[in-house]
Structures are given as structure tokens and as C-alpha cells.
A = this chain, B = another copy of it.
Amino acid sequence: MDISREPCKEDILTAAKRIFTYVNRTPVFTCSTIDNLAGANIFFKCENFQKAGAFKSRGAVNAVLSIDPNDIKHGVATHSSGNHAAALARAALLRNIPAYIVMPEDSSKVKIAAVKSYGGRITFCTPTLAAREEKLNEVLTETHAFEIHPYNNYAIIAGQATAALELIEDQPSLDTIIAPVGGGGLLSGTALAAHYFLPSAKVIAAEPEGADDAYKSFYQSKLIPSINPDTIADGLRTSLGSLTYPIIKRLVSDIITVDDKATIDTMKLVWERMKIIIEPSSAVALAIVLQNQQRFKGQKIGIIISGGNVDLMQLPWK
């Protein structure tokens, strides 16, 4: 794909074909108890069952497989504390190139172990955005690797769009599709997929109150970065990017925020009733439905469960 412009319909379909054999077509689950609680019909696209435990594998595989092999012959690199790091390391393995991952030194052991398990080469840095970017620049200079940003990259966005594409294929009559928003890779991809393949559906974003940069940016119509985000939803602490924001501003209907208590309660509800492990960042999407029942009543709602990578020794309801 031409990664210098916003993904078109064909780019998303091509991404789906490209990544097909390297990622899981994840199932769509339903739960009658949660439907009764919500007063709506909810279809959960289970990206917690995705390779490396999150939707990030879609974008990472699409990026690594769609970029000119010459450009990435020295490897790929990124800074990430989370799921993108593991997904990129795994994707690099498919092309047998190194993945250089800059990780903040306070990253969870589980995430570090995941990156290592896929052969990722980790450089640790102090946990600030400035230190991460500085260290990544050093790594890029040293290795001549190609940077793959976690979300501000059109190949990544086209890859993430395939989750909603599959959900729409499985459930073609959804009224609303909800995705969580951090940097906006999943959300912008979801919005593009709905725009091209189910334009009648509204796309709504769910965001933690303690990291509401997307909400502010959306309603103040300018990019407002996240400063000192404070939320249990570790995947959603990042700020929108220059490529994701315009897509979101144009194609998303609304952004709704929710507090961490509701997120934790919702996460526990899903574990108890659906018997699936979802991370806090995923619970945010269902939480906005349960917190705004009148608004969603009677609708057919698709929810992207973004991932299932949780440190089982550090559960939030302990």
C-alpha cells in the first residue's frame, strides 16, 4: 500500500488478505446476562484471542509485510511499553528481521517477557516520552532500522481496521460500533472500516476520564495531548497522533468517557460472566454502554475487545 496517504477501501481489503495467514480471525462472542444488564444486543469482537494477545498484531503484521523489503532490511524499531512492542517483535520474526524495542524501565514483567519470547531486542529507558523518543533515535541511528510507530502510521491504521471489517462481515446489521481510544490507531481504523463497509453504523469511542485527550481534542477541534494521564487502562494513556486525529474528527460520532471504578467493575463482570480475560483498556468500551443505558437501549452494538494482556499477579480488584 501507499503508506503516505490515508487508507482507502481497497487498502483495508488488501491488508485483510495480506495478514490473513499470520493473525487469527477472532470470534465474536455474545453474553445473554450482559445483554440483559445493558438492555441491548452486544457483539464482542474478541481481539484478546488475537496473536500476542491484542489487535496490535494486525497493524504490526500489515506494516512489516507492506513496507518495501529494502527499507526494513536492517530491521524495525519502536518505543512501546505494551502490546505494540510484542506484536512488532512477532511480526519481524515473520520476515526474519530484527525488532528493536525501546521500553520504559518500569514496563510490566509480563510485557517484557512477551517481547523477549518473540526475539525482540530490548533497550530500556527512563519512563518519560522524551526519554523514549531520544533513546529510539539513538537506536535508529545505530541500527539503521525502520521506525514503525504504534499508531501514527497508515499501514498500522489499515491493519487495525481489519478487526472492524471482520466484525461487520460477521454482524452486518450493527447500529453502533464502539472502540476504546488511546493513540487512535484502533479507533481510526474502526471508523474507516465502518465508513467503507457499514456506513449506516455510528462509531463511538470510549476513553478513560483520567486520559481524556481524545475527548478534549474532538470537542475543541484541535489536537490536545495527554498530560500526566492517570488511569488503570494502561493501553489508553497515549495521545492521539497527527494521522489518527483527522480521521477520528471526521468519521467518529462521539467520544464518551468513563471513570476507572466503572472500568474495573466492568472488567470483573466480563471475567465472571463471559469467562474471558480482557484488559482494562477493553473494559472501557462496555463500561460506557452500561453507564449510558438510555442512549444505547435496544441497539445492536459491536464492541472491539482490544486485548487480554493482564498481569495476573496485579489484578485491579485486589
Q: From A270, which residue of chain B is reached at the shortest CB distance?
A: B277
Q: Output the least CB separation between A93 and chain B (Å).
A: 13
**Are B313 and A312 closer than 8 Å at their CB atoms?**
no
A48 within 8 A of B: yes
Question: Quick one: given A27-B27, A276-B276, are A317 and B308 in contact (CB under 8 Å)?
Answer: no
Q: Which residues of B contact A29 (CB under 8 A)?
A: 49
Q: Output the least CB separation between A44 and chain B (Å).
A: 12
**Are B275 and A53 closer than 8 Å at their CB atoms?**
yes
**Are B48 and A308 closer than 8 Å at their CB atoms?**
no
Partner of A271, one of B27, B49, B274, B277: B277
Partner of A277, one of B27, B275, B315: B275
A138 within 8 A of B: no
Please provide the chain A residues from 237 to 284 with a CB less than 8 Å away from any CB of chain B in the complex.
Answer: 268, 271-272, 274-278
Q: Mark A38-63, 1 if CB is under 8 A from B, else 0.
A: 00000000001100010000000000
**Are B275 and A308 closer than 8 Å at their CB atoms?**
yes
Q: Which residues of B contact A268 (CB under 8 A)?
A: 312
**How far, in whole Å, are A98 and B25 apart by their CA atoms in the complex?**
42
Interface bracket on A? 20 to 34
Question: Quick one: given A313-B317, A317-B312, A317-B313, are A275 and B272 in contact (CB under 8 Å)?
Answer: no
**How far, in whole Å, are A318 and B318 apart by their CA atoms in the complex?**
9
**How far, in whole Å, are A110 and B271 apart by their CA atoms in the complex?**
13
Q: Output the least CB separation between A254 and chain B (Å).
A: 29
Q: Which residues of B contact A312 (CB under 8 A)?
A: 268, 271-272, 315, 317
Q: Mark A273-300, 1 if CB is under 8 A from B, else 0.
A: 0111110000000000000000000000
Please provide the chain A residues from 303 to 318 with a CB less than 8 Å away from any CB of chain B in the complex.
Answer: 308, 312-313, 315, 317-318
Q: From A54, which residue of chain B is reached at the shortest CB distance?
A: B275
Q: Output the least CB separation between A36 and chain B (Å).
A: 11
**Are B317 and A49 closer than 8 Å at their CB atoms?**
no
Q: Which residues of B contact A313 (CB under 8 A)?
A: 317
Q: Which residues of B contact A274 (CB under 8 A)?
A: 49
Closest 8 CB pairs between A and B?
A: A275-B308, A275-B277, A48-B275, A271-B277, A276-B276, A271-B312, A49-B275, A268-B312
Q: Which A residues are within 8 Å of any B CB, using their own CB? A: 27, 29, 48-49, 53, 110, 268, 271-272, 274-278, 308, 312-313, 315, 317-318
8 residue pairs from A and B, CB less than 8 Å apart: A29-B49, A53-B275, A110-B272, A268-B312, A272-B312, A275-B276, A275-B277, A276-B277
